[in-house]
Homo-oligomer: A and B are copies of this chain.
């Protein structure tokens, strides 16, 4: 363990986390497909059958043999005999012979003998049961072939995939009414500190209501995991030990939402050192806010101690807890996800100075100025929850950089799942 004051760089801390934990595959449970939105697939899903199971028309028109339309044009139409109609939702019982056509609607089953569909718009209905076709079609035109959407036995969704609305549609279309998903990770959130009281209580002088454990539980919920919120644990070694032991036994990850005092921090460190065989992985990271972030390994479970300042909570959560939680969820998200869904580029509205030797996480609000997106720094103390409520994300000032310039294009990392 590192001594006080020796802060790891953010990159070192993240590497330490990656190397310290093994992430066993989460247990798999089955849920109804219609209730599976947002869950992570526990196994690859392959198709039990061909979709569609019969050739279907993609247009309203006439099923026919493509070759009977070759050369057809406005000036020299092809004339075919109308020999029937395909009823929707039924087998096409009529079969299509030479120079014959059968009325078909979008989604109808292509009848035997036909190999294409001509669109209604390129035909005219004559009397005496004939149709006029003024445009040729190629074999297979306006038809979805058997298995063209999904072929039997083909993988359709990979293990580790987070289920989206269109996936629910596909699974239902294949007749898969239950899906194997990973059990959601459970996360214990333990508020600590002699000065912290529950939101329902009236704080006495010197006391403040619990903000952080509720903020953290909501972050955990937003990430798709299940928070378990503990009551406030005062700065008492035995009680804290007992709470951590219970939390480690009943959840996959534990967050101690710190009281802000040095006493709470010392106690947390002491308790985690005594409980963990490997003990504390790091205590102190060169980021601001969030420097006193602590991580330990207790009974193989990751236990985080997050500092008391509200802004430090969200930075610590985002940089360290969230990636671990993602691994615990079994999700294998594609590499573009973070870039596409969690970041946006905007122009900074003012210059901001930074001290070298640490990463500075600037909270920002977003604004539109005409078509331009602007990032406005929120320069309050990190102990104020109001500065976080005004913000929608952060901009990082790298360790070596002395600051950012007004008008500079910066990457904003959004506070979002």
List chain A positions with a Cβ less than 8 A from chain B: 33-34, 37, 51-54, 56, 58, 60, 86-92, 105-109, 144, 148-150, 156-157, 164-177, 193-196, 199-212, 214-219, 221-222, 229, 234-235, 259-264, 308-310, 313-314, 334-336, 339-341, 344, 346, 366-368, 373, 381, 383-386, 388-389, 391-392, 412, 414-416
Shortest A4–chain B CB gap in Å is 11
CB atoms of B383 and A144 under 8 A apart: yes
With contacts A33-B199, A200-B175 taken as known, whether A165 is within 8 angstroms of B106 at the C-beta atoms is: no
Across-interface contacts of A58 in B (CB, < 8 A): 309, 381, 383
A169 vs B107: C-alpha distance in the bound complex, in angstroms? Answer: 52
Across-interface contacts of A109 in B (CB, < 8 A): 205-206
Q: Using CB atoms, name the residue of chain B closest to A317.
A: B165
**Copies of this chain held together in the complex:** 2
CB atoms of A415 and B165 under 8 A apart: yes
- Given contacts A165-B415, A339-B373, list 14 more A-B pairs with CB under 8 A: A53-B208, A88-B263, A90-B206, A108-B195, A165-B221, A166-B385, A168-B214, A168-B215, A169-B211, A169-B214, A169-B385, A170-B386, A173-B209, A177-B200
CB atoms of A366 and B206 under 8 A apart: no
Interchain CB contact (< 8 A) of A214 among B92, B148, B172: B172
Across-interface contacts of A150 in B (CB, < 8 A): 385-386
Interchain CB contact (< 8 A) of A156 among B157, B208, B389: B389
A83 vs B52: C-alpha distance in the bound complex, in angstroms? Answer: 84
Shortest A121–chain B CB gap in Å is 9
CB atoms of B385 and A37 under 8 A apart: no
Shortest A188–chain B CB gap in Å is 15
Interchain CB contact (< 8 A) of A33 among B89, B177, B214, B368: B214
With contacts A168-B218, A206-B54, A260-B106 taken as known, whether A34 is within 8 angstroms of B339 at the C-beta atoms is: no
Across-interface contacts of A386 in B (CB, < 8 A): 51, 149-150, 156, 170
Across-interface contacts of A335 in B (CB, < 8 A): 368
A-B residue pairs in contact (CB < 8 Å), sample of 27: A34-B217, A51-B385, A53-B203, A56-B208, A60-B261, A87-B206, A88-B263, A90-B206, A91-B205, A92-B205, A105-B263, A107-B259, A107-B260, A109-B206, A149-B385, A156-B386, A156-B389, A165-B219, A168-B218, A170-B385, A172-B215, A173-B210, A173-B211, A174-B209, A334-B366, A340-B344, A340-B414
